[in-house]
Structure 1
């Protein structure tokens, strides 16, 4: 545990010295402020202009689902970039044969960031969610977000050999967020095709107001993770 803690703190030091990765970690806070203050304001302007009672508000829940995955994605993206850099420099192989070991290395680089990202996601959802989510809804979305972040990092590492390729893989992997929208817009048989995507279950838990449905997303993400490891 001491070696894992030291390795994790060393990774934080690397992130803190990298402007791009540091900004990626701060982005969820900035987006939370913009979403919370900007979207309701835009909704008010649009409703006044089009003489409607609501336009965007029926989809506030979808915004919250996407936001719940943003912090984990950014934190785990930063961790994945550090791993890619260490892999490119040969440091990853060296660290795996130290007392830290391969499992300790993976925990410090992926496991701990995913857990902390889930906690951060829950903490950010409380003040910034547009639907004012609370209790089980926040908890389920936060855990789903952490699982998505871990899966996001694994996809980047699986299909990249350096940071440049990692940036491209990150853009493609972010598409895994999109199935969450299917829970709000797809209601026919096509929805069954989305069951294999963790984000779909997160979206469904909000659209149906049944947080327990999010548990299926966690199981789904775990299966994806086992296949990618």
Structure 2
């Protein structure tokens, strides 16, 4: 019964998304980026090799990992805006007295972004076409990516009081994508401080390919994400309580 109500809520969300071109772009943005990587990156590589000695191909895994991170970031922010908008309109109060209940509403708002991110991550990695990947090995990475989405949603709902503040917060959240890039570009040990950010670990695990430490990276990433989830959930519950 609860699942049916969550499906109805999700269908209503999709109707709202269809009415807003910006929200539609948010849903397909990472797919466009993946297509750009597939068709544009090889051309850029040839161009650079023709005029410089820089070999962009050595950095393909980093680039694709950053594109993969955009999926949970965009979807997490999309559902964060939904919660902020519905909180402004006091929709939470409405759901608290319906059979769905506030708990069911919040569960849906966090579960759906995870499912969407998990699914779209496979679509993105399939489209990109410049980096080899293994389906079975990618499943834990896709799961790790999926967990990032509700963390972003809770961060927006916890730290922003309205959609205007939420828009400003997205600029800060987008900087999280730099975490794996900083570690990749800076050899100094202090760069490892970015490991405290959950988004660092799925990117690192994907970059490692079939490295022997691959499973350890996924495990540490799950622990880091869980710690952030506990922290953000306390803030989240206090904000919407």
Pair in the same fold by TM > 0.5: yes
- Alpha-carbon shift at residue 135 of structure 1 (Å): 2.2
Change (3 A) 1:175 1:201: same
Match of 2:224 among 193, 208, 220: 220
Change (3 A) 1:70 1:191: same
Aligned to 2:125: 125
Contact 1:68–1:122 (CA<8 Å) still a contact in 2? no
**Is the deviation greater in 80-89 or in 109-118?**
109-118
Contact 1:183–1:203 (CA<8 Å) still a contact in 2? no
Contact 1:69–1:145 (CA<8 Å) still a contact in 2? yes
Aligned to 1:37: 39
Matched, 1:49 2:51: yes
**Is the deviation greater in 77-86 or in 123-132?**
123-132
- Alpha-carbon shift at residue 60 of structure 1 (Å): 0.9
Distance 1:68 1:22 in 2: 18
Contact 2:69–2:203 (CA<8 Å) still a contact in 1? no
Distance 1:137 1:171 in 2: 32
Aligned length: 227
Aligned to 1:11: 13
TM-score normalized with structure 1 length: 0.90
- Alpha-carbon shift at residue 184 of structure 1 (Å): 2.2
Distance 2:36 2:110 in 1: 28
Change (3 A) 1:133 1:183: farther
- Alpha-carbon shift at residue 134 of structure 1 (Å): 2.1
Contact 2:114–2:147 (CA<8 Å) still a contact in 1? yes
Aligned to 2:73: 73
Q: In the TM superposition, what are the counterparts of 1:134-153 in structure 2 within 5 Å?
A: 134-153=134-153
Give unmatched runs, 5+ long, in structure 2. Answer: 234-241
Give unmatched runs, 5+ long, in structure 1. Answer: none
Change (3 A) 1:215 1:67: farther
Distance 2:119 2:198 in 1: 18
Q: Any idea what SS the aligned residue of 1:198 has?
A: coil
- Alpha-carbon shift at residue 10 of structure 1 (Å): 1.3
- Alpha-carbon shift at residue 191 of structure 1 (Å): 4.2
Contact 1:137–1:206 (CA<8 Å) still a contact in 2? no
- Provide Cα deviations, 1:46-72, integer angstroms capped at 9, x if missing partner: 10111x3x5211211111111112122
Q: Give the root-mean-square deviation of aligned CA atoms.
A: 1.9
Match of 1:20 among 9, 19, 22: 22
- Alpha-carbon shift at residue 37 of structure 1 (Å): 0.8
Q: Any idea what SS the aligned residue of 2:165 has?
A: helix
Distance 1:144 1:72 in 2: 10
Contact 2:31–2:127 (CA<8 Å) still a contact in 1? no
Contact 1:126–1:138 (CA<8 Å) still a contact in 2? no
Distance 1:55 1:128 in 2: 18
